[in-house]
Amino acid sequence: MNADIRLDAGTDEAAADAPEGAGAAADAATRAGQKLAYERNKLHKRLLRLTGQAIGDFGMIEDGDKVMVCLSGGKDSYALLDLLGTLRQRAPISFELIAVNLDQKQPGFPEHVLPDYLRSIDVPFHIENQDTYSIVTRVIPEGRTMCSLCSRLRRGILYRVADELGATKIALGHHRDDILETFFLNMFFGGKLKGMPAKLVSDDGRHMVIRPLAYVQECDLEDYARWREFPIIPCNLCGSQENLKRREIKQLMREWEKRFPGRVENIVASLTRVVPSHLMDRELFDFAGLRATGEPRADGDIAFDVDPAFEGPAAAAAPPARLVARNG
């Protein structure tokens, strides 16, 4: 579904000369406008619902919180700030928002864009100026990806800023697709089952990091950004490098969704249905101490039986609607 419906601006000269043709064209334009408004409203409601569900499911925001929204200038962080602003107005609890951008001094970075936008929507903000660009380009050889070092530098700076601002939560704009891509990156290239958590304490143990867009699909955020006309600032330092492994995973997921509709949604659901006894991590499950007690076990081995989930139509294994609902 694409909420960004474009109308054909072309005209038919013959129809323009005929009153009936002009009336039909006007009616068609009216219907198209109504459809556009309907689709946009449905998109907005879906984004608010999924964001609110993630916040509630994981206990991301509490009464009295000061949420530092990390704003990069990309579509995801713009949408996060916008949706949190609406939820803040409707929530039964009180919490603050402050937008924070790290200006990394990339050549040609439009310094005025974010401050102008944030003033226009009346959101408190802080711009942190740190020349990480020079450090990254000096340390990383030309042609190598810069994302790892760049992200480590950025993370340390943002943790410090959170302390200085008195923020109790750090909100990042990672969405459902980011989480899945990270899961597969860790599996394929890191040899471990590890995704990107919706909520977790930071590596320094001092900050709570939240990802309220954890249930939101990237395609919806793309549509929303076009509709809202966010002043997008592209990342020319690392995000545009074509040899990133993440891009390979993204393309793989798109191919899966095209050839096997529903596969990606089932993978999302699997992240919420982990069965440690059916994996091989001895730290998660005490295999050595396992004994047959004669009591039935819901997670017991079914030996050579075929799991019913593997039989019948793919829809039989559909994930929970709360994770992937696309309507309403």
Copy the structure tokens of residue 96: 């603050």
Which CATH architecture describes the domain 30-241? Answer: 3-Layer(aba) Sandwich (3.40)
**Is 238 marked as a binding-site residue?**
yes
pLDDT in tens, 125-157: 999 999 888 888 888 887 676 777 777 888 899
Check whether 316 has a pLDDT greater than 80.
Answer: no
**Is 147 marked as a binding-site residue?**
yes
Q: Mean pLDDT for the chain?
A: 84
**Is 235 marked as a binding-site residue?**
no
Coil, strand or helix at 318: coil
**Mean pLDDT across the stretch 226-234?**
93
Domain boundaries, the chain: 30-241
Which of the four pLDDT bands, split at 50, 70 and 90, describes residue 4? Answer: very low
Nearest to 85 by CA among 116, 57, 125, 113: 125
Residue type, 287: F
Check whether 72 has a pLDDT greater than 70.
Answer: yes
Coil, strand or helix at 238: coil
H helix intervals, the chain: 13-17, 19-58, 75-90, 113-120, 132-139, 147-165, 176-185, 218-228, 245-259, 263-270, 321-324
The pLDDT, as a whole number, for residue 225 is 97
pTM: 0.81
Q: State the Cα–Cα distance between residues 292 and 145, nearest whole angstrom.
A: 51
CB burial of residue 150 (10 Å; 0-12, 13-18, 19+): buried
**Mean pLDDT across the stretch 40-50?**
97
pLDDT in tens, 171-222: 999 999 999 999 999 999 899 999 999 999 988 889 999 999 999 999 999 9
